[in-house]
Amino acid sequence: MKRLFSFFIPGGILFCAALIMVGPDALHSLVPSVVRVAQPVILASAIFIGWRFNRSSLVFSVIILALCDRVLLTWVQGFPLSAGPPRIAYQAVALLLPLNLMMLNLMQERGFLTFRGIARMTVIALQPLIILFFARSHPDALMSRLTHPVLPFSLPEGVPLSQPALLAFCLALLVTVVRYVQHQGAKESGFFWVLVTLLLALGAGFPATDRVFFFAAAGLILLVSLIEASHSMAFKDELTGLPARRALKEELLKLGNRYTLAMLDIDHFKKFNDRYGHDVGDQVLRMVAGKLAGVSGGGRAFRYGGEEFTVIFPGKYADQAHQHLEDLRREVESSRFVIRSRMRPRRKPKRIRSGGRPRKEVSVTVSIGVACRDEKNARPQSVLKAADKALYRAKKQGRNRLCA
């Protein structure tokens, strides 16, 4: 449910809002006014924020949206599509738009005035020039390529999209879904809802004003998704997936008069890291973080820094949180960690060879210090320091234990 919620927010909400706007007559009458104001504001905001946050994919995407929107406004007056330039322009936009957005979603951020950034700008600028060249020199051949049947069935008569364009949208949506499953980021979900919005705008044959409105909505989804992704980068630890220290500081400000804080540290992590390498150390951190994410008793886990973690139990005294923390400590202790060979293949082989070296298993333990708010420690920072002192006592007493 959490993954589904993060996938739907914010892009899905904005998509549904755009559908509602073009639906009822009372709201639909507002669309022309919204388009006149929203389109330039969204374009300028997306370019500025994308440049400020060094998110070239956002800037290039909104530029592509603006170019495609302008091409359609210039050449396509209405439906059914007229033969010649209007039909070529519409099918070229419908084919190239999803493919370009898919590639921008797949590519890493490389800046604007770098070699790769300039190369991407050049590719974007060349596409309309190439289409224009062939539209003037070989219009029939170009139209034949843009509308060549590639599916074993015909599309409904009212659908203005060609089969290659529909296939391009389906491919882009599939790649974007796979990308989201792998990364589960706001950027990936944002690109998915942008593609859905554009598919509806181009596939349903909306009039020009409604189509421009959907293009503006697509730009807004990209802009909000960037803000969401930037927030996630600031408040979420990339390695472990847990909320980061900045999120912890904000959470501490929201606590009431009754709460318990726990500081947790992986035992002998530095020696473990030095012996097996940083890659294995990162695996240990992710494993422990996975256990912490499932802590019972209403606890919320955060990565404090390095191999240290913090768990907050709102509304609980220390004795109420003790058993949940002890269960967590035992669960980590009982989990056997397999040291992967550095010579292992990147992909799992079809056949597993027998007689190889036995896999090395090690145990990972944690020490925990816990403290609750009382008269002596009335502020969150004081409670945190008390929990840290309790953690030091746990390590001094032999580690792999909980101290209050």
For 185, phi then psi, to 5°, come to -105, 160
* Residue 307 is among the residues annotated as catalytic for this protein: yes
Angle (CA) 140 144 149, round 5°: 165
Token pair for 264: 């947790």
pLDDT in tens, the chain (404 residues): 667 777 888 888 999 988 888 877 767 788 888 888 888 888 888 888 888 888 888 889 999 999 999 999 999 877 888 888 899 999 999 999 999 999 999 888 777 778 888 888 899 999 999 999 999 999 999 999 999 998 888 888 888 999 999 999 999 999 999 999 888 888 889 999 999 999 999 998 888 889 999 999 999 999 998 888 877 777 888 888 898 888 899 889 888 889 999 999 999 888 888 888 888 888 889 999 999 998 998 999 999 988 999 999 999 998 899 999 999 999 998 887 777 655 444 444 555 454 455 566 778 899 999 999 888 888 999 999 999 999 999 999 999 999 88
| Confidence (pLDDT) at 113 | 77
Q: How far apart are CA 7 and CA 219, in angstroms?
A: 18
Neighbours of 121 (CB within 10 A): 16
Neighbours of 268 (CB within 10 A): 16
- Cβ atoms of 109 and 199 closer than 8 Å: no
Nearest-CA neighbor of 103 among 197, 46, 176?
Answer: 176
| Confidence (pLDDT) at 156 | 85
| Confidence (pLDDT) at 278 | 82
Domains in the chain, please, with CATH? 2-234 (no CATH), 245-340+360-403 (3.30.70.270)
> Could you tell me the CA-to-CA distances from 221 to 10, 172, 206, 229 in Å, in that order?
7, 17, 20, 12
| Confidence (pLDDT) at 168 | 96
CA 71 to chain CA centroid, Å, is: 30
For 37, phi then psi, to 5°, come to -90, -45
Quote the crossing angle between the two packed helices 318-334 and 278-293, to the nearest 10°.
140
| Confidence (pLDDT) at 353 | 52
Q: How far apart are CA 300 and CA 242, in angstroms?
A: 9
| DSSP line for 116-179 | HHHHHHHHHHHHHHHHHHHHHH-HHHHHHHHT---SSSPPPTT----HHHHHHHHHHHHHHHHH
CA dihedral angle for residue 294, residue 297, residue 303, residue 308, rounded to 10 degrees: -110
257: helix, strand or coil? coil
Catalytic residue among 188, 238, 251, 307: 307
